[in-house]
Amino acid sequence: MGVVTPVGNSVPAFWEALCVGRSGLAPITRFDASPYRNDLAGEIKGIEPGDVPRASAYALFALREAVRDANLADFAGSGIVLGSNFGGMDAALGFFRGTGSRDSLSGSNLADPVDRAIREYGFVGPSCCVSLSCASGAASVGMAYDTIALGLADIMIAGGFDELSELSYAGLSALRAITPDIIRPFDKNRKGTIFSEGAGVVVLESIESARQRGAKIHAEVLGHFVNNDAYHMTAPDKTGQGIREVMERAIRDAGVSPESVDYVNSHGTGTEYNDRIETSAIKQVLGRRAHEIPVDSIKSMIGHMMGAAGTVEIIATVKTIQTGIVPPTVNLETPDPECDLNYVPGKAQTFPVKIALSNSYGIGGCNAAVVLGGLDR
Amino acid sequence: MKPVGIIACAPVSPIGVGQEEFAGALLADHRGIAWSDRFNHEVGEVRGFDLSQYLSTVKTYIDRTSALALAAMSLLPTRKVALSLGTQWGCMESLETFAGKVLSGNPKFAPPLVFTHSYANAPNSLIAIEFGSREFNICLSCGSTSGLVALIYAAQQLELGRCELIAAGGVDSLSRPIFEQESGRTVPLGEGAVLALLGTEAAEVELLDSYTGSPGAGFLDVVGQLDKSTLFIYSSTGLQEVDDMVQRELGSRIALDLTPRMGFTLGASGMMGVSAAVALLRQRKAKTIGVVSADERRMAAVLLGM
């Protein structure tokens, strides 16, 4: 596993920050945010992209950590699927400003880091980019899982990436998705989300291949699903039917029961509707179990990493499965009667987790859910 | 892979809209490339395209990429189904419009509607909303192989049992940014959308085998059912490195190049090949036909048969 996040550019640094509830959100330095709803965001520090579009540089940085962690040296037969909401938006902005070269739009192409990774590592298997808005990072893990499940590759790289750019920030601000306050998932006074950037990458491998190779196996992907609310381009479906169905289908795909789910890493954006609708849907899917288990939002610390969010949250979920530590939802100070689950407010909790669900949703009604399990379940 | 039936095919192309019109134009060797005052160049546009001819609902704003995809979907016999859609560039026309507002000096008032329609997944979302499908839904982007890869991933979803019917295909539209970005190609550009309806039941035309991966992997060996006589449909990309590579792999087995007929239709190009293959198979011109799509980094191929 590998990450580039506002709280650290390695999995150990990222995890340590989550466990102590440290926020990586700070005033934006990259552009003048004064016209917009908030100047807070989760910027990446310590990575110099050089000539590479920043979004791609983040993806490649996380990929290198994941490859080291998996102790991979032979990439023959491996493929790669990365997910992104926007790709290299600053390259696009340069093109539209007329400050980039005539072909500078290529840096914004969603497949740019996939192509760069192929050049760097020589992956010869299936390669693709998934774009499902802010569910992209989770959907990429699902697609890579499918590729292995069908025997088309033994090893697949999967991940998500995105960069903060004024172009996308202006749109997200215009949509009023950004809070004028701080991000407070599930709090009664929540007013919206805070966006951030970065990447998360995982190496998926068939259990058989990983064991033969003597690889360290962190956890198992048990199943997934992606769907669409089929409701509205921006407004959430207040019935939560789409997100309920995506969870149900992912749990069914995993071959486990709703009662066996021990933890939900929620989408938890901190918007008024998302948190209420997601809570209701979790309760409908998991029944009484929803009240017995932790449901947190790490976006409260790292912000909403857009296309990277799904993979980064899957990586946090894997760490929870491994350690039994559930990171907190920070800034949750005033309970909302309509959000009545254990959101792990303020401080990390310990809870034995064998099976976990990670939720990701995006603009346009895109939904993804991934079910993960520990090896000793 | 298990054979997958191609139940219907719906192209919206520079040579015709709908499988019947497309097939007729293909067999009559009609060309869809013409001079465009908008681009000051010869291109393969879907001329006279008007989404209101295909949908009863009124759209206050729609990106051309989304409109082409919606029109293709409207032509399928069943529309409330799962979806796997590929696009190379997504909705660049809307992104350019939105960027213009952001750069105009008053970014606070940039229009959120145009922004949401600039997402690559906007066609997927609009199709799901229009036809009321909460089924499996994914948007893929992998250069000009996008459409064919989306078709292959759709077939995999059928194999995995996640759906019984799935619409799959590719879409890209021509806009100023795309035209400038892709100006290095030595062939005319084209646009269009193709969606095919796939199912697990037997159909007149079946998807027999598929391959996605590096061109260096020897894809002809991977597509197991191919024999030396299988002919291919290709859309030349106008990138010498890519076209030379395909020429090396396939040589005289390329029986039909669609680009001279409709321009290079980017992420839809592989699916234009599928529509052409369906037309030729139905005419009993061959028993099996391969369709290949390639870019600098990857190749996708499918084998279709009766």
Mean pLDDT for A182-191 is 98
Nearest-Cα residue of chain B relative to residue A252: B162
Kindly tell me if the per-residue pLDDT of B216 is higher than 80.
Answer: no
Asked if the C-beta of A7 comes within 8 angstroms of chain B's C-beta atoms, the answer is no
> Which alpha helices (H) appear in chain B, and where do they start and end?
19-27, 64-74, 92-102, 112-116, 122-131, 146-159, 176-181, 219-222, 240-250, 259-262, 269-282
Assign B250 a pLDDT band (cuts: 50, 70, 90): confident
- Is A218 an active-site residue? no
Chain A, window 9-48: residues with a beta carbon less than 8 angstroms from a chain B beta carbon: 35-36
Nearest to A109 by CA among A148, A182, A161, A150: A161
Q: Model confidence over B95-146: pLDDT tens digits?
A: 999 999 999 988 988 999 999 999 999 999 999 999 999 999 999 999 999 9
H/E stretch holding A227 reads strand A220-228
Contacts A123 to B, Cβ<8 Å: 214
Residue type at B31? R
Q: Model confidence over A122-177: pLDDT tens digits?
A: 999 999 999 999 999 999 999 999 999 999 999 999 999 999 999 999 999 999 99
What's the token pair of residue B20?
Answer: 């019947």
How do beta strands B231-234 and B288-294 pair?
A: parallel
Assign A178 a pLDDT band (cuts: 50, 70, 90): very high
This model of the complex carries an ipTM of 0.97
Residue carrying structure tokens 């569910």:
A135
Contacts B108 to A, Cβ<8 Å: 35-36, 170, 173-174
- CA-CA-CA-CA torsion sign (B23, B29, B34, B39): positive
Those residues with Cβ within 8 angstroms of residue B293's Cβ, 6 or more apart along the chain or in another chain: B144, B145, B147, B148, B234, B235, B269, B270, B273, B299, B300, B301
What gap in Å lies between CA A301 and CA A190, rounded to an integer?
14
CA distance, residue B183 to nearest chain A CA (Å): 8
Least confident of A154-163, B52-61, B216-225, B284-293: B216-225
What gap in Å lies between CA A96 and CA A78, rounded to an integer?
36
Assign B214 a pLDDT band (cuts: 50, 70, 90): confident
- Is A224 an active-site residue? no
- Give me the pLDDT at residue B172, please: 98
Point out the residue among B92, B100, B125 whose CB comes nearest to the CB of A365.
Answer: B125
Other C-beta atoms closer than 10 Å to the C-beta of A289 total 17
- Give me the pLDDT at residue B220, please: 66
Residue type at A138? A
Kindly tell me if the per-residue pLDDT of A306 is higher than 80.
Answer: yes
For domain B206-305, the CATH superfamily is: Thiolase/Chalcone synthase (3.40.47.10)
Contacts B92 to A, Cβ<8 Å: 105
Other C-beta atoms closer than 10 Å to the C-beta of A207 total 12
Asked if the C-beta of A238 comes within 8 angstroms of chain B's C-beta atoms, the answer is no
How do beta strands B205-213 and B231-234 pair?
A: unpaired
Query: For chain B, which residues make up each domain, given as ranges?
Result: 5-205, 206-305
Burial class (CB in 10 A: 0-12, 13-18, 19+), B48: exposed
Point out the residue among A167, A170, A226 whose CB comes nearest to the CB of B136.
Answer: A226
H/E stretch holding B195 reads strand B192-199
Mean pLDDT for A301-310 is 98
Kindly tell me if the per-residue pLDDT of B218 is higher than 70.
Answer: no
Mean pLDDT for B4-30 is 97
Residue carrying structure tokens 């058989």:
A208
Asked whether this chain's domains B5-205 and B206-305 adopt the same fold, the reply is yes
Contact check, Cβ <8 Å, B177/A166? no
CA torsion B132-B138-B143-B144 (nearest 10°) is -50
Mean pLDDT for B288-299 is 93
CA distance, residue B212 to nearest chain A CA (Å): 5
> Which alpha helices (H) appear in A47-199, and where do they start and end?
54-69, 89-97, 112-121, 136-149, 166-174
> Structure pTM?
0.97
Our CA angle for B269, B177, A41, nearest 5°, is 110
Kindly tell me if the per-residue pLDDT of A239 is higher than 90.
Answer: yes
In order of A20, A107, A263, B44, the CA distances from A297 in angstroms are 14, 32, 11, 48
Tell me which fold the domain B5-205 belongs to. Peroxisomal Thiolase; Chain A, domain 1 (3.40.47)
Beta bridge partners of A155: A78, A205
Assign B66 a pLDDT band (cuts: 50, 70, 90): very high
A134, A224, A339, A366: the active-site residue: A134
